Amino acid sequence: MHFMIVWRFRPEHTQSAIARFNDTGGAPPPGVTMLARWHDVAGSRGFAIAESDDVVAVSKWCHDWTDLLSFEVIPVLDDQQLTQVIGG
């Protein structure tokens, strides 16, 4: 399963989030493969596409950062999967 993960910096914790990212690289835990990650040019939010069959591992990845960031996690389909849904 693929997930689009959107995070936003909590303004009061921006510097702490940057420091943690510099220290850890923000890598996902075992069981989650990060396929891509982008950061907006303003530096206030970011986006990742992750693949995992373990929603608990995806949740843990986000939870490890919730003291500094807010998250939206959206399960997504690729075109081939959507075609199966809509019968194309």
Q: DSSP readout, 27-49?
A: PPPTT-EEEEEEE-TTSSEEEEE
Domains of the chain: 2-86 (3.30.70.1060)
- Reported as a pLDDT band with limits 50, 70 and 90, residue 6 is very high
CA distances from 3 to 41, 66, 83 (A): 22, 17, 18
pTM of the predicted model as reported, rounded to 2 decimal places: 0.89
Q: Are 58 and 3 in contact (CB under 8 A)?
A: yes
C-alpha 30/C-alpha 79 separation (Å) is 27
11-44 residue pLDDT tens: 899 999 999 999 999 999 999 999 999 999 998 9
